[in-house]
Amino acid sequence: MRQSAGFFPTLREVPKEAEAKSHILMLRAGLIRQLAAGLYIYLPLGWRSLRKIEQIVREEMDASGAIEVLLPTLQPDELWKKTGRWEAMGPEMMRLLDRNERQFVLGPTHEEVITSLIANEIRSYRDLPKNLYQIQTKFRDEIRPRFGIVRAREFIMKDGYSFDVDEAGAARSYQLMYDAYKRTFHRCGLTTIPVEADTGVMGGNLSHEFMVPAEIGEAEIVSCSHCDYRANRELTESRAPADPPAVVSVPPVAEVHTPNLRTVEEVAEFLRITPASMIKTLIYVSNGAPFVVLIRGDHTVNEAKVAKAVNGPVEMASPEIIAKVTHAPVGFAGPVGLRGVKIFADYFIRTIDAGVTGANKEDYHIRNVSPGRDFQPDVWGDFRSVDEGDACPRCGTGTLSIRFGIEVGHVFVLGTKYSEALQAYYTGEDSQRRPMIMGCYGIGVSRTMAAVVEENSDDKGIVWPVSVAPYHVHVLNLSVRNSEVTRVAEELYQSFQNAGLEVLLDDRDERPGIKFKDADLLGLPYRVVVGEKSLQEGVVEFVPRKTLEKSMIPPDEIVPRVKSQYELDIASLRPDF
């Protein structure tokens, strides 16, 4: 491709709306442009890279035995109502009415559709297992789209689904996909960490996320210093505290005037106590019903654990609901004297023998609150997020560390949640009908491209892995008005193509400084610079983008040199596992 004839609009300034490094670089390098919040146009360079990622995904899926299909984006509401996810998906689901006032959704995922298909087509155990996948645009009405295509409202995803006769078969399908995902991301030039994960509204009992460590990641990766435990912080169990020693005597509760002090930090400072001696009372709503979660003042509630405990989606209660439950404004809630709501208490509340909590009365808190004596929770459980330095829930010996990551892939064993709801049954060898055991496997294809840029970049621009680079070679003609420079650049352009390499020729009538800056920004793996001075010495300049180390090579040797380097770099991305 000739740069003069292409559409590669680069930006010199950092776009105001961009926060993440990948978002900034993808805008500046002309890979994407924003249409509206969370909606992006893929420009030629971005689209070429995206298609290469898709092809790697496709090759690994096909090699694992999965079969590609294409399902409708528009889905009827009745399928989602049968599985209960019409309500569970909440406002993220984009819903619409057709001209006949029938309800549809723009698919955020396709468990319902694929299960309905299989239910209508497969009857016997002889037709199983099956593993089907597609690469398609998905829609989710994110409340806060962020970081460009990392969290968008419209995105490209590979979603796959396996159907097996039993748990053993489902485990084999799961392992096939797990291994295929490791190979896929390695080939894309990504460092990924598979971590145990929460299944959320997808359901099921086994799940792993594939995380790319990154500062902008919204997922938190928990690792043990001693064993191989890796998990999403949402899922990580908090090791329950030892039972506290029996308390001989706790003074009676006493109200304390705390005017306009609402936060744990404000009250703790005012009363000269530590946050660990406070009982934080949080009011949530699930399926229209309010309930209470108690957490120690120095801890953070884990909403994924709470959602699992109440078996439904959760959200913080509005100030109006809080006032109705506690008879006080926000900031003064406490468990003492609460009536008509279920109370869920974290195990660490037991470590507080004489705590401080809200008095359910404006501008007042209560001292000397003793769990069991002054209030009795309905449910004790693990409802907190683990913290840095906590004991490992698996080995108990190591301590936990936490870092951020971008989720690029997720694999689930779903069990029979969807097959039972949508009647995807098979007849076994014993003539008995049983529900199929399902698995679900997703890769954020567009998000993977953002993760590649996030991980593979420097202060000058993108540093593309050769496997997913828009082009392999960037030939720079530094003097388009010099006939000899142009002749050599054109010959190299053709020779690289003949050698099977993809080439972008910068034949623009621009200053060399602009061409070098754009070449650094676009980040194609191999740069070949043709200039008047170097040609007078009988050489051209070869610069691998990854190292920026310059070599002067005769024009008739440069194509085999680049080709050899390309083959070495491709080989380094081939997985050996």
pTM: 0.88
Task: Tell me the residue range of the domain where 109 lies.
Answer: 21-236+401-454
Alpha helices by DSSP H, listed for 399-554, are 417-421, 445-455, 483-498, 512-522, 532-536
As a whole number of Å, the end-to-end CA separation of the chain is: 36
Whether 362 and 407 share a structural domain: no
Degrees to nearest 5, angle at CA 504 with 499 and 510: 140
Q: What is the pLDDT of residue 70?
A: 98
247 within domain boundaries: no
387 within domain boundaries: no
Q: What is the CATH number of the domain that holds 123?
A: 3.30.930.10
Q: Mean per-residue pLDDT for 332-346? A: 96
* pLDDT tens for each residue of 170-210: 999 999 999 999 999 999 999 999 998 876 544 556 889 99
Q: What is the pLDDT of residue 88?
A: 82
Quick check: 130 and 421 in contact, CB under 8 A? Answer: no
Using alpha carbons, select from 527, 528, 547 the residue that is nearest to residue 539.
528
Whether 281 and 180 share a structural domain: no
Quick check: 57 and 184 in contact, CB under 8 A? Answer: yes
Q: Mean per-residue pLDDT for 535-553? A: 96
Q: What is the pLDDT of residue 99?
A: 96
Q: What is the pLDDT of residue 241?
A: 86
Residue 17: band (very low, low, confident or very high) from pLDDT cuts 50, 70, 90: confident
For the chain, the domain total comes to 3
Quick check: 225 and 398 in contact, CB under 8 A? Answer: yes
Q: What is the CATH number of the domain that holds 351?
A: 3.90.960.10
Structure tokens belonging to residue 460:
């000058």
Whether 343 and 291 share a structural domain: yes
134 within domain boundaries: yes
**pLDDT at residue 568 is higher than 60:** yes
Whether 442 and 562 share a structural domain: no
Quick check: 49 and 31 in contact, CB under 8 A? Answer: yes
Residue with tokens 């869920």: 344
Residue with tokens 């004790």: 380
46 within domain boundaries: yes
Whether 269 and 375 share a structural domain: yes
516 within domain boundaries: yes
Whether 353 and 437 share a structural domain: no
Of all residues in the chain, what percent carry a pLDDT higher than 70? Answer: 98
Whether 408 and 311 share a structural domain: no
The H or E element spanning position 494 is: helix 483-498
Distance CA 411, CA 177 (A): 7
Last residue of a domain, one of 347, 381, 415: 381
Q: Mean per-residue pLDDT for 350-366? A: 95
521 within domain boundaries: yes
DSSP 523: -
275 within domain boundaries: yes
Whether 222 and 309 share a structural domain: no
Where are the strands (E) in 478-561, listed by range? 503-506, 526-530, 540-544, 551-553
Whether 486 and 441 share a structural domain: no
Using alpha carbons, select from 51, 55, 52, 41 the residue that is nearest to residue 7.
41
Q: What is the pLDDT of residue 202?
A: 46
Whether 42 and 181 share a structural domain: yes
* pLDDT tens for each residue of 313-329: 899 999 999 999 999 99
546 within domain boundaries: yes
* pLDDT tens for each residue of 235-269: 899 988 877 666 668 999 999 999 999 999 999 99
Whether 287 and 369 share a structural domain: yes
Q: What is the pLDDT of residue 246?
A: 66
Q: What is the CATH number of the domain that holds 551?
A: 3.40.50.800
* pLDDT tens for each residue of 520-531: 999 999 999 999
Whether 162 and 267 share a structural domain: no
